Structure 1
Amino acid sequence: MKAEIIAVGTELLLGQIVNTNAQFLSEQLNAQGISVYFHSVVGDNPDRLAAQLAIAHSRSDLVLLTGGLGSTKDDLTKEVVARHVGRSLKLEPQALKRIQRFFEARQMPMTENNKRQALIIDGARVFPNETGLAPGMAVKHEGVHYLLFPGPPGELKPMYFKYARPYLVELSPDQHVVHSKVMRFCGIGESALESRLLDLIDNQTNPTIAPLAKEGEVTLRLTSFAKSKADAEQKMASLIREIQARVGKYQYGWDEETLEEVLVRQLHHNNLTVAAAESCTGGLVCHSITRVNGASQVFPGGIVCYANDVKMGELGVPPEVLGQDGAISERTARILAEEVRKKFKTDLGVSVTGVAGPEQQERKPVGLVFIGVAGEHKTRVYKVNVGGSRHTVQTRAAKLALFYLIRTVEELVGNQSG
């Protein structure tokens, strides 16, 4: 089946809200093996919506509409779709009772226009709205299926899972599943990653490979078409092994995992702790770690040592080091990582010092960053050039610090097991 999604609402065109419904529906449809070919957004205008429906009818088997099912005059989706399919609207008794109970429970008068939310297209299959008022519905016209959903995501999502998804399964009982898996990488750019996998990308069939660059990291989305999720994963297995053989040292996680989640989980699992000393990142490493539940058990704290006085006074960086090598140097990063580890009595210490911009410092270019990782017996300092705007430099440097910590924990565990 070929599907498309039409979002209705002038507020979307004005940028007042983000069209998250389209993303959600595309993800769900693809998981059911239904390909989404088009997205469109139409304002609260009946003529433009009617024109878009005519286009959709000519090219798609399945058309999903979101929004425009409410009680106000600009909620016109049902009316326009009803005209498009040549049917009338009628009150749905159960929906009307639900709306009446809603107002009675709140001791509020129900105005006449609220009855509009209980209207459905004659002959449509109703999707009850268990978290709101206006029901959704499905109607077939000349071989094309139209599914109408309310706009609020809190109403659309449960309606989709409970009623729309089973409806779509009925339409295509033998439909293949589309299963995706995301591999997450850090410490390597998109171009470098792609160059090492170019032959795999050029020759992809099933599974497919789609690289995507994010701020400070890269992902590979592997997608397989198969009869079942188990079959799809089996198809992916050999491809995953080949990718890991080439670039596995840069992979830190899967799917929706974040660097900080992986790090905190590893620290927990291995009974390790870490503290941070941050200069150019201004606390981003600390902030990232503390966003994860349970971080307090592995992260007692950190120091933002933005000024040289703080580097000297709080973390014992000798004045001669700052005078000779500078605050942005391998020696300073080493001392900061070792001293913050001692100060907080942790297993690991991490430091970040560099030039975030917009101008050079100490005759050193914007984007030059030193990241130190100190353990009980060994300290390693990474010199990187991350480039970009001030925000980009800070974000990339913080993510690299988390990534190098993950690699250090893996190394420590590997040495212990060896």
Structure 2
Amino acid sequence: MKAEILSVGTELLLGDIVNTDAQFLAGELARLGFTVLYHSTVGDNEERLTALLEMALLRSDIVLTTGGLGPTADDLTKEVCAKALGLPLVEDEESMRRIEACFRNRGSEMPETNRKQAYLPQGCTIFRNNHGTAPGCAMEKAGKIIINLPGPPRELKAMFLEQVLPYLSRFAGGTIVSHTVRTFGIGESAMAERAAQFLKQENPTVAPYAKDGEALLRVTAKADSPEEADALCKPTVDALCALYGDLVYGVDVDSLQQVVVQMLRERGMKIGLAESCTAGLIAKRITEIPGSSEVLECGIVSYSNRIKEKILGVSPEIIEKYGVISAETAAEMAVGAWRVSGADIGLGVTGLAGPDGDERGNPAGLSFIALTDGKHTLARTVNTGRGGDNREYNRFVTSSNALDLIRLYLLDER
């Protein structure tokens, strides 16, 4: 099938932003077996965008657009594409809920202009945006397909690899199989640098991307059958797991908490939690997994110093000397969780989700995590680097670090 990439944004035409989206998409489409005929760039102008889209639909089977899905008046990509195929825009309730939640988690009110992002072409396939407010979509009519993707590379890349690639696979010849190597504790750029030799491969291909504070590698192969494609992937997946060692927490697993619950069950161990800044999020993530009742003894949300002292037995002198946001307080919280729960291990977390820092100069996004089995204590300091701009992100990344600390402890218990 013939494909074309249409990049929308005046900032691209002016050279203010390098168009890495087109480079990424062209490579991925070629690996899928599509013939990419043209890359085109157009500014935020309805007339010129319409003319270019009409031309693209005449010469290509699939048109992928990037950008122009924002909330402002000059974000017109979706509207122009829907009009070209004669499709009305209708509100998608799930998209509206996700957009509202995104602003709510930031602690800000959603502007009315953002409502337009939840209006999508009738009957389209929706691609959820886990990194921003603009959903993507695929619309089909009369043998033509238009796929709208957000412009920010971080949003586009994750959406394409997780949702668009499986959608496009049914139009590609042969069978496509993908495996995801999930890591924690290494950034996307550092991971890509270490895996440079693998990123040059053609079949299977290896694509790194980031998601929710994790770094992932998608290994994709194309063959005549699923078995052949899977056999092509296996040596590369095995080599990547060996390359990253204990940084890899799973292949084709759903989440870090899934792995932690499985490891605890396999070892017949239980855990008690004492959470401050994460406010029960670690417990929530663990209890999302079936069988978690076998491993979670208790979860204590100890937001106030009074509860830390009275329930967990944290020393007032420790809080006075080191502050409530400190490694020392986290360690005492872990001991308290272990003691109160009677579990095999206790975990304590204290930190600042945001939006503000504290009187000791600790910034929002800083947290301290400690784990104890009564004999040994492990500790980790986390600074998300986001400050107070994204309270929900700070809490989630802190909870992921806590789960990863549990995982690494359990690895030593093999």
- Does the alignment reach a TM-score above 0.5? yes
Match of 2:203, SS?
A: coil
Match of 1:184, SS?
A: strand
Is 2:224 the partner of 1:223?
A: no
Q: Is the CA contact (8 Å cut-off) linking 2:278 and 2:396 kept in structure 1? A: yes
Q: Which position in structure 2 is the counterpart of 1:8?
A: none
Deviation at 1:297, TM superposition (A): 2.4
Alpha-carbon distance in 2 for matches of 1:78, 1:380: 58
Is 2:368 the partner of 1:367?
A: no
How many positions carry a matched residue from both structures?
Answer: 299
Q: Which position in structure 2 is the counterpart of 1:337?
A: 334
Deviation at 1:330, TM superposition (A): 2.1
Q: Which position in structure 2 is the counterpart of 1:9?
A: none
Q: Deviation string for 1:211-259 (max 9, x for gaps)?
A: 1111221111111122222222222223223322221211112335111
Q: Which position in structure 2 is the counterpart of 1:411?
A: 412
Match of 2:290, SS?
A: coil
Alpha-carbon distance in 2 for matches of 1:382, 1:79: 55
Deviation at 1:50, TM superposition (A): 11
Alpha-carbon distance in 2 for matches of 1:253, 1:217: 12
Deviation at 1:293, TM superposition (A): 2.4
Q: Is the CA contact (8 Å cut-off) linking 1:33 and 1:177 kept in structure 2? A: no
Q: Cα gap change, 1:361/1:400 in structure 2, threshold over 3 Å: closer, same or farther?
A: farther
Gaps spanning 5+ residues in structure 1: where? 6-25, 39-47, 65-74, 81-136, 140-144, 149-163
Q: Deviation string for 1:381-418 (max 9, x for gaps)?
A: 11232221442222111111011112222221x1xxxx
Is 2:304 the partner of 1:293?
A: no
Match of 2:311, SS?
A: helix
Alpha-carbon distance in 1 for matches of 2:304, 2:224: 60
Q: Deviation string for 1:24-44 (max 9, x for gaps)?
A: xx9xx98x9564969xxxxxx
Match of 1:301, SS?
A: strand
Q: Is the CA contact (8 Å cut-off) linking 1:216 and 1:400 kept in structure 2? A: no
Q: What is the identity, as a one-letter code, of the residue corresponding to 2:182? A: R
Deviation at 1:362, TM superposition (A): 2.5
Alpha-carbon distance in 2 for matches of 1:245, 1:226: 25
Match of 1:407, SS?
A: helix
Deviation at 1:264, TM superposition (A): 1.6
Deviation at 1:303, TM superposition (A): 0.9
Alignment of 1:7-406 (within 5 A): 35=34, 55-58=56-59, 60-61=60-61, 145=143, 175-201=173-199, 203-255=200-252, 257-357=254-354, 358-390=356-388, 391=391, 392-406=393-407
Q: What is the identity, as a one-letter code, of the residue corresponding to 2:375? A: H
Q: Deviation string for 1:111-153 (max 9, x for gaps)?
A: xxxxxxxxxxxxxxxxxxxxxxxxxx997xxxxx4589xxxxx
Q: Is the CA contact (8 Å cut-off) linking 2:253 and 2:259 kept in structure 1? A: no
Stretch of structure 1 that moved more, 344-353 or 354-363: 354-363
Q: What is the identity, as a one-letter code, of the residue corresponding to 2:2? A: K
Deviation at 1:329, TM superposition (A): 2.0
Q: What is the identity, as a one-letter code, of the residue corresponding to 2:284? A: H
Alpha-carbon distance in 1 for matches of 2:362, 2:51: 60
Alpha-carbon distance in 2 for matches of 1:336, 1:369: 13
Alpha-carbon distance in 2 for matches of 1:294, 1:36: 47
Deviation at 1:54, TM superposition (A): 6.0
Match of 1:179, SS?
A: strand
Deviation at 1:341, TM superposition (A): 1.6
Q: Is the CA contact (8 Å cut-off) linking 1:2 and 1:34 kept in structure 2? A: no
Alpha-carbon distance in 2 for matches of 1:199, 1:341: 45
Alpha-carbon distance in 2 for matches of 1:389, 1:254: 31
Gaps spanning 5+ residues in structure 2: where? 6-24, 40-48, 65-81, 88-139, 147-166
Q: Deviation string for 1:32-78 (max 9, x for gaps)?
A: 9564969xxxxxxxxx99995663231x34699xxxxxxxxxx9999
TM-score (norm 1): 0.60
Q: Deviation string for 1:1-22 (max 9, x for gaps)?
A: 23689xxxxxxxxxxxxxxxxx
Q: Cα gap change, 1:371/1:76 in structure 2, threshold over 3 Å: closer, same or farther?
A: closer
Deviation at 1:265, TM superposition (A): 2.0
Q: What is the identity, as a one-letter code, of the residue corresponding to 1:187? A: G
Q: What is the identity, as a one-letter code, of the residue corresponding to 1:176? A: G
Q: What is the identity, as a one-letter code, of the residue corresponding to 1:406? A: R
Match of 2:303, SS?
A: coil
Q: Deviation string for 1:330-359 (max 9, x for gaps)?
A: 222111112102211212211111233322
Alpha-carbon distance in 2 for matches of 1:346, 1:269: 15
Alpha-carbon distance in 1 for matches of 2:246, 2:369: 18
Q: Cα gap change, 1:36/1:276 in structure 2, threshold over 3 Å: closer, same or farther?
A: farther
Q: Cα gap change, 1:325/1:36 in structure 2, threshold over 3 Å: closer, same or farther?
A: farther
Match of 1:352, SS?
A: strand
Q: What is the identity, as a one-letter code, of the residue corresponding to 2:398? A: A
Q: Cα gap change, 1:77/1:256 in structure 2, threshold over 3 Å: closer, same or farther?
A: farther
Alpha-carbon distance in 2 for matches of 1:49, 1:256: 42
Q: Cα gap change, 1:245/1:76 in structure 2, threshold over 3 Å: closer, same or farther?
A: closer
Q: Cα gap change, 1:373/1:34 in structure 2, threshold over 3 Å: closer, same or farther?
A: same
Q: Deviation string for 1:65-96 (max 9, x for gaps)?
A: xxxxxxxxxx999989xxxxxxxxxxxxxxxx
Q: What is the identity, as a one-letter code, of the residue corresponding to 1:215? A: D
Q: What is the identity, as a one-letter code, of the residue corresponding to 1:409? A: L
CA RMSD of aligned residues (A): 4.0
Q: Is the CA contact (8 Å cut-off) linking 1:180 and 1:224 kept in structure 2? A: yes
